[in-house]
Amino acid sequence: MPPVLEVKNLYKVYGTKPAVNHIDFSIDENCCFGLLGPNGAGKTTTIEIIEGITKPTSGELFYMNHPIGAEFRQQAGIQFQNTALQDFLTVRETLILFHSLYQDTLPIEKLIEMCQLEEFLHQGVKNISGGQRQRLLLAIALANNPKILFLDEPTTGLDPSARRIFWDLINEIKKNKTAIVLTTHYMEEAYYLCDEIAIMDQGKIIAQGTPNSLLADYFDHVIIQIPKADFTLPIDHFNLPVFQQDESVEIHTDNVNMVIETLISNQISLNRLQIRSRTLEDLFIELTGSKLTS
């Protein structure tokens, strides 16, 4: 099977500054592809070029092995971060309205079931919660039975419970052989949902791979965290990287047993000690020097 989407040597310049600087990637069916980057990295411009909102300066885009055209526009689903809806319509009426815009569609009852709209189907759009609105917008994006689905920060502003419900919906969508392009500011979300991740900075892709392979490539140690109040040793006591944070001391090591033994021998309390593996957020900061912010 050819890739669902293939981006080749994509370039977009505004004035003299490249917003997207000769990037390449491809996405297969059943794949959730995460495009991550700090504000201004070029990810939004990249997505807008693919969706046909912005024209590239140069480069090639292929959908199912053919240049992007009318077929892509009929078979792509897009959930924008903000979509204006008619407040005077009910959820069902809104879904029927958008459903009528496409030739090839999923049955409305199937959309209602997939996105769990039953409980608020007859409520006015203006009266539903943020999580319910996001599920409605997802149903609208799925109305044309898309082969590729674009999700632009779909869980921003949702509480943890609503976010988890949305994650489960996305995983169910992948089972239908739908490719997904996801942008998000939540690293836990990217790790949980994405089969592959590309991190952009200053218009370029600076790292790409599965979440676990990227972490393995860049980190071979864990972090031991101890509250400052419990850490009575001099910082240079360990022949290891030790970092002082606001409330804790962090020891970076690939030999946890050795560090624990040293702490015990120096009568350091382990009651509040925490051990954690490196995360995608650690990797993001390591590569870009900044945190993901909404």
**Domains contained in the chain, CATH given:** 5-216 (3.40.50.300), 220-277 (3.30.70)
Cβ–Cβ < 8 Å for 26, 5: yes
pTM of the model: 0.87
Distance CA 288, CA 266 (A): 37
Using the predicted structure, report yes or no on whether residue 294 has a pLDDT greater than 50: no
To the nearest whole percent, how much of the chain has pLDDT over 70?
98
Q: How confident is the model at residue 290 (pLDDT cuts 50, 70, 90)?
A: low
**How does pLDDT run across 221-260, given as a tens digit for each residue?**
999 999 999 998 887 777 778 888 889 999 999 999 999 9
Classify residue 43 as exposed, middle or buried by CB count within 10 Å of its CB (0-12, 13-18, 19+): buried
Q: How confident is the model at residue 291 (pLDDT cuts 50, 70, 90)?
A: low
| pLDDT on residue 177 | 86
**How does pLDDT run across 125-176, given as a tens digit for each residue?**
999 998 899 999 999 999 999 999 999 988 888 888 889 989 999 998 888 8
DSSP string, the chain: ---SEEEEEEEEEETTEEEEEEEEEEE-TT-EEEEE--TTSSHHHHHHHHHTSS--SEEEEEETTEESSHHHHHHEEEE-SS----TTSBHHHHHHHHHTT-SS---HHHHHHHTT-GGGTTSBGGGS-HHHHHHHHHHHHTTT--SEEEEESTTTT--HHHHHHHHHHHHHHHTTT-EEEEE-S-HHHHHHH-SEEEEEETTEEEEEE-HHHHHHHH---EEEEEEGGG--S-GGGSSS-EEE-SSEEEEEES-HHHHHHHHHHTT---TT-EEEE--HHHHHHHHHSS----
